[in-house]
Structure 1
Amino acid sequence: MKFKSMIKLGLTSVAASLVLVACGNSANESSRTDSLNWMSNTTLTTLDPSKAVDVTSDQVLYNSMRGLVTPDKGNKVDLAIAKSYKITNGGKTYTFTLRDTKWSNDKPVTAQDFVYGIKRSADPKTASQMAYYMANVVNYSQIKMGTMSADSLGVKALNDHTLQINLVKPQADFLNVLALPVFYPQVKSIVDKYGSAYGTTSDKMVYDGPFTVTNWKGSNDAWTLAKNKDYYDNANVKLKSINYTVIKDPQTALDEYQSGKLDQTLLAGKQQVTTYKNRSDFYNRKGFMVQYLSINQNNIPELKNKNLRRALSLAIDRNALTKDILGDGSFAARGLVPDTLAYKDGKDFNDYATVKDATTGNLSEAKKLWAKGLKEINKTSVSLSIMNNNDQTSRAVTEFLQTELEKLPGLKVTAEILPNNVASGRSLKSDYQLSVSGWDPSISDPISPLQTKVSTSSINTSKWGNAMYDMYIDRSNNVDATNPTKRFDDLVNAQKVILNDQGIIPLIQKAQPELIKSNIKNVKYLGNGPIWDFSHAYIK
């Protein structure tokens, strides 16, 4: 599991004077030709690839480091430090040939650096929260349990430019997994030199990506991505620098954008989006965060009844939720897997895998199923609580859901609005009845969100279980792992199972509305992981 720092922007109003300025004039184009001023709404926490767990750290590392591959749109990857690879031994052995490239200290990047970095991430002493992505690498399970040393991990350098990784069994999404920072190369002498301070400031690191990080002291809310002269594709990196500033208040960020101090800003809430949505510098992109109601059937015995679960889902008007409450471009989720994450034959995963009755509203049908379910359990009323975070947007969503569900006769709903850390802690302990939950895939593969609902998964906090669902996930990971078509169908069938059983109640897929100066080109947007790739960006 990867806990991402979500974009939690309130339903901020826009001052009337600012609206008049915005309507009358477009934002001034930047006079700079080789540098950008960008915003982040969360703080950078680490530059240690083994320890990065949040969106901001990922974004900085993806632009300042390169692994064997780098993510592309959809469920694809591009080659990076690896210039070629081959898969042998029935899909269990990956052999990579590395290109000639250097670290920012002018030392060559070698296969031994990959071996060291990957083993360091796997070592329990490092305490990487992302090491579980190595579960299928030979000997990782024993290393995790402490019965083998990290040196026994199935990763080895055949020579300076050849790296081999051995798996316990074929893994269809392994190339996607290799794009994660825990699989990045690291320099042992640098780690040894800085010890516990490694990656805690920008000068206690070396970089092999298109940019280096400068001016980050470990606690300040600003840093710079500076062009890396030693990067292998340096000739195609057009920007000299990207200057980051952390701005947590969306109105302040909007003011900075309007005054020309920022080249990009995130928008918050219905009013801001409505004000700016018709401008040429407005973009509203599909993120990969899917939010849904998690149903803890163990804490609500009544909701072991499928008709009651289906009634709850059908009682929710997603159109009103996305348009009237949020209004930020978020849209009704079609399943546990987000739209645009994966495709087959040019069609989105959810074109195959959605179940309309489980993802749309119909109040009259909801009331019929609710009455039927109550009769089946011999009750006339039910009381439920919905847990969610206490930021302004989450509060508005919870209150909306409370109103919608109480349209069902005999249902009383209580809202539990809690600080994020409290709600997260309770969720992990399965201490809730209904919870507004979310999943932001770290890798571009449907297995990422679907794996969380396997009955034995520690992340399956609702304890929902279905043997058919587990079977399809198991097939995708084993007998069909090397057959892309059959594996895709397994994952489609798994999502259909959980939706037909209403194991979750899909709500929304988050959007990322923002303003970006129209003279900025080729900034690649990715719905997860790095979010922004600046390696080929330029200012026209």
Structure 2
Amino acid sequence: MAIYNERGCVSRRAFISGALSVGALSALALSGCGGSKQVASGSASDANAKLDSKQELNLDYTDLQTLDVNDIRNSNEFLVLSQVQEGLFRTFTKDGKDDVQNAGCESYDVSDDKLTYTFHLRKNSWSDGQPVVAQDYVDSLLRLVNPDNGFSYSYMAADIVGAQDYMDGKGSADAVAVKAVDDYTLEYKIVAPIPFFTAKLANVCFFPVRKDLVDKYGKDMANDYTKQVYNGPFVISDRVLDNSLTLKPNDKYWDAKNVKLTKVTYTVVAEEATKSQLLSSKQLDAVKATTEYTTKWQKEADAGKLVGVERPDVLVDYLSFNMHTGGPSGLMNNEKVRLALSLAIDRDDFNKAIFSGLYKPAYGLVPDGIKSGDKVFRDVTDEPLKAVEKKYKDKKAVVALFKEGLKEVTGSDDPKAVTFTILGQVTSTQDKNRLEWFQQEFENVLGVKVNINSQSESASFVSERNANNYDFYVMGWMGDFSDPVTFMDCWFTTSGYAKFMGGYSNADFDKDYDSLQTMSDEDERLQTYQRMEKNLVADHAGMAPLVYGVKYVFNQTYVKDLSLPQFGTDFEVSRTFISGK
């Protein structure tokens, strides 16, 4: 999934010290998952609406670090690149659910053993008139997994035969099982049957590239829109660094007749207060809401001034325990201590106090909307911590559990002798309130002392974390596609994410994870995921879930057919139009 840095969304999985205060990043999924609901009046779609003479859309964004699809790193790059480039699939929303449609491919076949995927490409052209061919997809994959490039999303290709060995320096590009059978037939071979391979391929990092231009311009291509060619609904027509970026329709695009907007402008808006003013004055046409303004905009939507949509966000916020060293307290390698800390948290109060009740208290690892096969995981899986919480419903029982663990480590069961350290990066009042909430909660429930290790800069936060100067801190993790494995594959012992996950290591968890690599039966996979989640959250308290994300989007009533995919870009605008402004 995506890396957050400690304050915001970057590449690979979502790592943040204040998870749910920023935008989401993730890969597209190829199955509709998680519903959405109107949180206020209005309609985001009207097939019979009359188009205004002026078809222009205004959105906010943070400036891009790269225009290179293989090197994609953060949510704003997904936001823009998904509109100017195109891969095999494109995701819209229909009746509140993701509607994944063939885009770069007209159709595809899967072999009987589910190891070979053959895509039949659509006739499309790059913006310079060159045809988009299968070799462009081959060149993209080989560039993505080239270890010399070190691209953040290269891990997404690990299921393709030969890709992991090439990334590890143990194999060659020639052994990577991707092939252009002919100009319009593309073939991938994977190492084992997995139900989510097409969901992975929908990620921007797999979009085709023009090797001739990569070779010609090299690194200069990454941030110069004039050196790019585009195969999506739009092209970049102008860019002012740290200010704005403008799109216009791509007249070479295969579905150009259904692109109605004549101009899309993304503007850098640094302050949430400014964003609110621009939305109120209709200088912004749609925004992804933060907790600070969601309630305000909900009221405006209730009054018919905006359209509001709520969707599950593929993000879980949790407390990460320091199992590398046991932390400054020396207690974090004790399961009873960790479980007592988790049970001491009043998640409803945390959600209300920090997020105004806008998110959902979490008692598991996998958030709402994620599918396992054809089933929504949370719909068929009880959150494992709820059963444990019932057992320890009386806070006295939680304290007794804590004392048991304390005595096992120190020989004493006196909580007053314990001092914990919570680490956090503080750049806002919400960040400060979050740390103080945990300080008060643990001191009040467990009778311990909690020190706050507050850092104002991301670099100093990372330094303190890497030096293990903490017992616990808040993390966020975001899924890459619609399958529980995207939340679980960072917790096995050799995942490479140990420093972010507190060093959790469990033989049973590892065994279950390994078994998934060759498991194709959907019911068996579901049961394995359920067992792994229970292992991590309840049986061994490797983390303490806090809240699941909820995405709130508000747009002007005249904005029609604005799609809000659960995965990938926040706004899919290739079929959006303006009516009644």
The answer as to 2:339 corresponding to 1:310 is: yes
User: How far does the alpha carbon of each residue in 1:475-528 deviate from its partner, in whole angstroms, 9 at most, with x for none?
Assistant: 2221x2x22232222212211221222211001123334431122122221234
Counterpart CA distance in 2 for 1:91 and 1:458 is 28
* Contact preservation (8 Å) 2:55, 2:578: yes
Q: Equivalent of 1:115, from 138, 146, 164?
A: 138
**What's the Cα RMSD here?**
2.6
User: Which residue in 1 is equivalent to 2:59?
Assistant: 38
User: Which residue in 2 is equivalent to 1:373?
Assistant: 405
Q: CA deviation at 1:100?
A: 0.8
Counterpart CA distance in 2 for 1:138 and 1:429 is 38
The structure-2 alpha-carbon separation of the partners of 1:326 and 1:151, relative to structure 1 and needing over 3 Å to count, comes to: same
The answer as to 2:341 corresponding to 1:329 is: no
Counterpart CA distance in 2 for 1:457 and 1:386 is 25
Q: CA deviation at 1:185?
A: 0.7
User: How far does the alpha carbon of each residue in 1:162-199 deviate from its partner, in whole angstroms, 9 at most, with x for none?
Assistant: 11112233333211110112211111122122221113
* 1:303 match: secondary structure: coil
Q: CA deviation at 1:409?
A: 3.8
User: How far does the alpha carbon of each residue in 1:444-498 deviate from its partner, in whole angstroms, 9 at most, with x for none?
Assistant: 22111111111221113211122222222222221x2x22232222212211221
User: Which residue in 2 is equivalent to 1:422?
Assistant: 460
* Contact preservation (8 Å) 2:372, 2:484: no
User: Which residue in 1 is equivalent to 2:419?
Assistant: 383
* Contact preservation (8 Å) 1:66, 1:80: yes
* 2:148 match: secondary structure: helix
User: Which residue in 2 is equivalent to 1:173?
Assistant: 196
* 2:489 match: secondary structure: helix
Compute the TM-score of the two structures, normalised by the length of structure 2: 0.82
AA paired with 1:374?
A: L
User: Which residue in 2 is equivalent to 1:18?
Assistant: none
Counterpart CA distance in 1 for 2:467 and 2:105 is 41
Counterpart CA distance in 1 for 2:182 and 2:463 is 46
Q: CA deviation at 1:2?
A: 2.9
The structure-2 alpha-carbon separation of the partners of 1:349 and 1:32, relative to structure 1 and needing over 3 Å to count, comes to: farther
Q: Equivalent of 1:469, from 487, 509, 527?
A: 509
* 2:345 match: secondary structure: coil
Q: Equivalent of 1:449, from 487, 490, 496?
A: 487
User: Which residue in 1 is equivalent to 2:43?
Assistant: none
User: How far does the alpha carbon of each residue in 1:420-452 deviate from its partner, in whole angstroms, 9 at most, with x for none?
Assistant: 343345546766321211111222221111111
User: How far does the alpha carbon of each residue in 1:304-328 deviate from its partner, in whole angstroms, 9 at most, with x for none?
Assistant: 3332222211211111221122216
User: How far does the alpha carbon of each residue in 1:265-323 deviate from its partner, in whole angstroms, 9 at most, with x for none?
Assistant: 344444x3333323322344432221100112232242333322222112111112211
* 1:164 match: secondary structure: strand
**Aligned pairs (5 A) from 1:236-251:** 236-251=258-273
Extract structure 1 runs of 4+ deviating beyond 6 A. Answer: 72-76
Counterpart CA distance in 2 for 1:263 and 1:75 is 22
* Contact preservation (8 Å) 1:75, 1:444: no
* Contact preservation (8 Å) 1:85, 1:94: yes
* 1:406 match: secondary structure: helix
AA paired with 2:451?
A: T
The answer as to 2:287 corresponding to 1:261 is: no
State the identity %.
Answer: 28
User: Which residue in 1 is equivalent to 2:15?
Assistant: none
Of structures 1 and 2, the one with the larger relative CO (CA 8 A, separation 6+) is: 2
Q: CA deviation at 1:212?
A: 1.5
AA paired with 1:290?
A: V
**Aligned pairs (5 A) from 1:271-282:** 272-280=293-301, 281=306, 282=308
* Contact preservation (8 Å) 1:358, 1:502: no
Q: CA deviation at 1:103?
A: 0.9
* 1:473 match: secondary structure: helix
* Contact preservation (8 Å) 1:284, 1:329: no
* 2:546 match: secondary structure: strand
The structure-2 alpha-carbon separation of the partners of 1:82 and 1:488, relative to structure 1 and needing over 3 Å to count, comes to: farther
* Contact preservation (8 Å) 1:426, 1:432: yes
User: Which residue in 2 is equivalent to 1:231?
Assistant: 253
Q: Where does structure 2 lack aligned partners over 5 or more consecutive residues?
A: 10-18, 23-50
Q: Equivalent of 2:438, from 384, 397, 401?
A: 401
The structure-2 alpha-carbon separation of the partners of 1:436 and 1:150, relative to structure 1 and needing over 3 Å to count, comes to: same
Counterpart CA distance in 2 for 1:358 and 1:215 is 56
* 1:197 match: secondary structure: helix
The structure-2 alpha-carbon separation of the partners of 1:78 and 1:494, relative to structure 1 and needing over 3 Å to count, comes to: farther
AA paired with 1:499?
A: V
Q: CA deviation at 1:345?
A: 5.8
Q: Equivalent of 2:319, from 275, 279, 293?
A: 293
Q: Equivalent of 1:459, from 491, 497, 512?
A: 497
User: Which residue in 2 is equivalent to 1:162?
Assistant: 185
* Contact preservation (8 Å) 1:37, 1:264: yes
* 2:503 match: secondary structure: coil
Counterpart CA distance in 1 for 2:83 and 2:543 is 35
Counterpart CA distance in 1 for 2:212 and 2:175 is 20
* Contact preservation (8 Å) 1:77, 1:176: no
AA paired with 2:440?
A: T
The structure-2 alpha-carbon separation of the partners of 1:527 and 1:394, relative to structure 1 and needing over 3 Å to count, comes to: farther
User: Which residue in 1 is equivalent to 2:367?
Assistant: 338
Counterpart CA distance in 1 for 2:280 and 2:91 is 32
Counterpart CA distance in 2 for 1:506 and 1:367 is 19
Counterpart CA distance in 2 for 1:398 and 1:528 is 30
The answer as to 2:521 corresponding to 1:483 is: yes
User: Which residue in 2 is equivalent to 1:15?
Assistant: none
Q: CA deviation at 1:102?
A: 1.0
Compute the TM-score of the two structures, normalised by the length of structure 1: 0.88
Counterpart CA distance in 2 for 1:474 and 1:58 is 31
User: Which residue in 2 is equivalent to 1:533?
Assistant: 572
The range that moved more, 147-156 or 412-421, is 147-156
Counterpart CA distance in 1 for 2:571 and 2:488 is 25
Counterpart CA distance in 2 for 1:88 and 1:429 is 49
* 1:244 match: secondary structure: strand
User: Which residue in 1 is equivalent to 2:80?
Assistant: 60
User: How far does the alpha carbon of each residue in 1:226-267 deviate from its partner, in whole angstroms, 9 at most, with x for none?
Assistant: 222222222222222221001120001111111221112344
User: Which residue in 2 is equivalent to 1:48?
Assistant: 68
* 1:50 match: secondary structure: helix
The structure-2 alpha-carbon separation of the partners of 1:428 and 1:283, relative to structure 1 and needing over 3 Å to count, comes to: farther
User: How far does the alpha carbon of each residue in 1:86-119 deviate from its partner, in whole angstroms, 9 at most, with x for none?
Assistant: 2226222211111111111111100011111111
AA paired with 1:296?
A: N
The range that moved more, 349-358 or 186-195, is 349-358
